Amino acid sequence: MEWTIQELATRAGITSRTLRHYDRVGLLTPSRVGANGYRYYNPSAVARLQRILLMRQLGMGLSAIAEVLADEVDTCDGLRAHIAALEEERDRIERQIRSVRHTLEALQAGVEPRMDVMVAGFNDRYKDEVISRWGERAFQVSNAWWHGKTLDQQRAWKQAAEDLVAAWVAAVKAGVSPTSEHAQSLAARHVRWLSQIPGTPTAEGDRERSIEMVKCLGDMYVDDPRFAAMYDDTAGATFVRDALHAYARTRM
């Protein structure tokens, strides 16, 4: 089966002039040229055009597209890569839609405009850290979970997290030991809180990685000033770290 240049241009939503230009620069040659000078394109040529158009939509220039196609050994592998890129773009757009929807809900509810966590989304500010420590999937799954919540659900989750932090700060001020029953009950509550977040080792029941994650979080609370401030000061963050480490070591 073949299509003329006019037929292909019409079906692809481009111009015959564009196809002729692709031919001139060696990006897409016709399958054959008839005795009448007409260009004809077979399914393989159309598949190549599909890939060119996909890369153009992703913002790639013609020279970059030519390099990709020239370096490619397996067309199927290239198509799989494009599917992955398109799925990534789809996910990005869906996150933007959810973000804007939540902003609209917040405005309609009369919420103050300071909605950094609710609008930006769970883990967005720490995306690189999450990916480097626990992988791309952990970020994507937890981020999708957060954006999938309604505004009220996000506010309830944030309040629960703030209550947990307040309980830790109160324990520090009470002067109890990190290994005390009270501190260890808070550590257990902290781990249960983590297990509600999809994509994390605690949510997936991976014991070894859960222990590693809890210890790693404890260290991060002390090492990162952002978290140290959350627990009032470095001493508070150190208390939380020691309690989590003890819990991970003896009860997980």
For 134, half-sphere exposure in the C-beta direction (CA atoms, 13 angstrom radius) is 29
pTM: 0.52
Which segments in the chain show pLDDT lower than 70? 73, 75, 92, 95-96, 99-100, 102-103, 106, 111-134, 147, 151, 226
The predicted structure's pLDDT at residue 119? 40
The predicted structure's pLDDT at residue 123? 44
The predicted structure's pLDDT at residue 116? 44
Q: How far is residue 191 from each of residues 61, 154, 209, measured CA to CA in Å?
A: 48, 19, 13
Nearest to 45 by CA among 100, 81, 1: 1
Query: Mind listing the pLDDT tens digit for each residue in 52-84?
Result: 988 887 777 888 888 888 877 676 777 777 777
Cα distance between residue 127 and residue 144, in whole Å:
13
Q: Note whether 142 and 199 are within 8 A (CB).
A: yes
Q: How far is residue 8 from each of residues 26, 45, 125, measured CA to CA in Å?
A: 18, 10, 45
DSSP string, 181-240: HHHHHHHHHHHHHHHTSTTSHHHHT-HHHHHHHHHHHHHHHHHSHHHHHHTSSHHHHHHH
The predicted structure's pLDDT at residue 120? 45
